[in-house]
Amino acid sequence: MIPNITRGSRIVGLMSYLAGEGRANEHTEQHLVAGDHAIMARHGYAVLDQAAARDIGLALDTPRLAYGVEVTRQVRVEDPQTGELHSDRVAADVWHCSLSLHADEGQLSDEQWGTIAQQFVDRMGFTEESGKAPCRWVAVRHGLSTNGNDHVHIAVSLVREDGTKASTHNDFTRAQDVCRDLEREHGLTPLESRQRGMGERGVKPAERARAERQGALEVDAHRLERTVRAAAIASLDEGEFVRRLRQGGVLIRPRYAAGRDDVVAGYSVALRPTGQDRPVWFGGGRLARDLTLPRLREGWPDSPQTAQAAVDEWRATSKNPWQYRPVAPGREEATPDPELWEQYTRELGALRAQLRDVSPGDRATWAHVARETAGAFAAWSQRVETTAGPLADTARELSRSAHIRAHQSAPKPVRMGSASGAAMMLLQAATAGRGTAAEAILFRQLGRLSVALLDAHQAAGDARRAEQMSQSLRDKLAAVQERLPAVPTKDTAPAASLTPEEEAVRRAQRGLAAPGTRSPLPNPITPRKRTTSDTSRDRDGHGRE
């Protein structure tokens, strides 16, 4: 069960929306399933119309109006002239939370949702169960979402019956904890992000509505995530990362540590707006857990030289995000040598071989593998897909295995192989890139890494995540493979007729294992009684020839 919390004001407007048709006319049979005793006694469980919704909104807002209490929260606001951020306080007397199930879980009854909603607000401290005066609240149900999720909306006035303010401190974490308990008590499917510490950022309704208005196939956050992921994995250091984001066509600006202009603590990115629209900025952590600047730095070298070079590039972006020019352009400006296909293909093979020694329980290392594999597909997508396609979808699916919590993360092992070079080639190769022999052989290796991740989830006891990956990747990888030519063999063409790129692929092939999708994780060995016929085949003492 997924809680999604927002804060605002105008509770009458919120109730009118919940009782209305919805943004996509998805609201049907809008009605209450639980709420404040007085409101439920008056309005009951009948279908809500706009008049009833207004009456309920006014009833919820009565304590705030009667006591003249002002409830606010602090937000970061962008100056439209300078683009700088400053703090401001806005009205926030309405607490709104939707509780939704995964589409596969089907639907609950009104009675079940009513019980869950009551228990949820009790445990969040909004009712008399807290030992304080209760808040007025209601739970509204209005059919499935556009994605087929059964859900309920809970609206709470944060001014209690005695005029005191209800606390929302740490409400996001507390809501997750309450949902975990309710899942167990009501036999609901546990959310993966709570069970395994994984999970991607949710899409806010406003973001989806913006994409629909613009006719976009995906929300801005997903497109930005792919761009940032591709740039991060293709870059050897932080300065190159900043420059590659510029090449990706996005706006970027740093967030300095308090009182400093030489220590960058984070960053924000935005798509370039069209017309009179203003850019919508997203912090790295808002895009994905593994795209915060501290997490990205785990994969880059840490030295005074690279740190200073990065600060120089960040300063250049902060002066004018719209017309940022690199301070020290690097390899991202040049077309890579086709001979590098061989080197980076071998590096992927070496990385896959190293994974045999990685425990399935080593979540930090497997997260690095997921991040880099997803980054390679994201880089490839950025170069050849004008809209989100199978490469983008594959990158997004794999990246979910990299979304572990900060305390579970660790720097990448020094001797571990890397997919950075492959991501760089897939991002900026000279060819148009809709199906070359070199890409075909890199795809084979990336596919093997994907299967290794799937098997690692299975071996770690995360069968649900493994099944999700298997179902999702099967069709996506097949769609990618259809775009690519068959991998050339030594008999495909005479050496004299091969291009330099194809010749590099041929040399890379000679160092690769036979084609297949077997996992690099070692198979479990079950000893059996040796027979005379086995003796001739037991050449290494382990039942292997």
User: What torsion, rounded to 10 degrees, do the Cα atoms 83, 85, 89, 93 define?
Assistant: 80
CB 229 within 8 A of CB 395: yes
Q: What pLDDT does 81 receive?
A: 59
The whole-number pLDDT of residue 74 equals 86
137 has which bridge partners?
A: 156
Angle in degrees, CA 342, 344, 349, rounded to 5: 95
**Contact at 8 Å (CB) between 82 and 93?**
no
pLDDT per position as a tens digit, 295-335 = 899 888 888 999 999 999 999 988 888 888 899 998 998 88
Cα separation, 245 vs 395, whole angstroms: 17
Query: How many Å apart are CA 385 and CA 378, to the nearest integer?
Result: 10
pLDDT at 24 over 70: no
- pLDDT for res 201: 58
Give which of 241, 239, 286, 422 is closest to 345, Cα–Cα: 422
φ, ψ of residue 305 to 5 degrees: the values are: -70, -50
Classify residue 138 as exposed, middle or buried by CB count within 10 Å of its CB (0-12, 13-18, 19+): buried
Confidence of residue 85 (pLDDT cuts 50, 70, 90): low
- Give me the pLDDT at residue 525, please: 44
Domain ranges (residues) in the chain:
2-190, 221-334, 335-545
State the pLDDT at residue 115: 94
Lowest mean pLDDT of 196-210, 290-304, 408-422, name the range. 196-210
> What is residue 28's DSSP assignment?
-
| DSSP type of residue 473 | H
Whether 517 has a pLDDT exceeding 70, the answer reads no
The overall average pLDDT reported for the chain is 81
pLDDT at 507 over 80: no
Per-residue model confidence as pLDDT tens digits over 58-83: 999 999 999 999 999 988 776 665 55
Assess whether pLDDT exceeds 90 at residue 47: no
Per-residue pLDDT, averaged over 386-397, amounts to 88
What's the burial of 442, exposed, middle or buried (CB within 10 Å: 0-12/13-18/19+)? buried
Q: Which pTM was predicted? A: 0.62
Gap between the Cα atoms of 396 and 391, Å rounded: 9
Residue 505 has pLDDT above 60, yes or no: no
* CATH topology assigned to domain 2-190: BirA Bifunctional Protein; domain 2 (3.30.930)
Q: How many residues does the chain have?
A: 545
Q: Which of 202-206, 216-220, 257-261, 311-315 holds the top average pLDDT?
A: 311-315
State whether the Cα torsion 457-461-463-465 is positive or negative: negative
Higher-pLDDT residue of 275, 154? 154
Separation between Cα atoms, residue 419 and residue 234, nearest integer Å: 8
Element (H, E) at 26: none
| Greater pLDDT, 505 or 127 | 127
Closest CA to 281 of 311, 241, 321, 316: 321
Check whether 516 has a pLDDT greater than 50. no
Q: How far apart are CA 228 and CA 201, in angstroms?
A: 15
Distance of alpha carbon 346 from alpha carbon 366, whole angstroms: 20
Quick one: average pLDDT of 22-49? 82
Is the Cβ–Cβ distance between 224 and 207 less than 8 Å? no
Whether residue 128 is predicted with pLDDT greater than 50 in this model: the reply is yes
C-alpha distances in Å from residue 231, one per residue of 85, 143, 222: 25, 41, 14
Give the confidence band of 203 by pLDDT, cuts at 50, 70, 90.
Answer: low
Residue of higher predicted confidence among 40 and 464:
40
Predicted local confidence at residue 62, as pLDDT = 94
**Highest mean pLDDT range out of 45-59, 66-80, 225-239, 385-399?**
225-239
Per-residue confidence at 54, pLDDT binned at 50, 70, 90?
very high
Between 527 and 236, residue with greater pLDDT: 236
pLDDT of residue 84: 64
DSSP 364-418: HHHHHHHHHHHHHHHHHHHHH-SS--HHHHHHHHHHGGG---GGG--PPPTT---
516: tokens are: 């297949």
pLDDT at 140 over 90: yes
Angle value at C-alpha 20, between 16 and 25, nearest 5 degrees:
150
Contact 273, 260 (CB under 8 A): no
Where do the DSSP E strands lie in 187-319? 250-256, 264-271, 282-283
Give the contacts of 338 (CB within 8 A, at least 6 positions apart).
430, 438, 499, 500, 501, 504
| pLDDT exceeds 90 at position 235 | yes
Q: pLDDT value at position 83?
A: 57
Give me the long-range contacts of 141-144 (CB less than 8 A, separation at least 24).
Answer: 141/30, 141/31, 141/32, 141/33, 141/110, 141/113, 142/18, 142/19, 142/22, 142/26, 142/27, 142/28, 142/29, 142/30, 142/31, 143/26, 143/27, 143/28, 143/29, 144/26, 144/107
pLDDT tens per residue across span 332-369 = 988 888 888 888 888 898 898 899 889 988 988 998 89
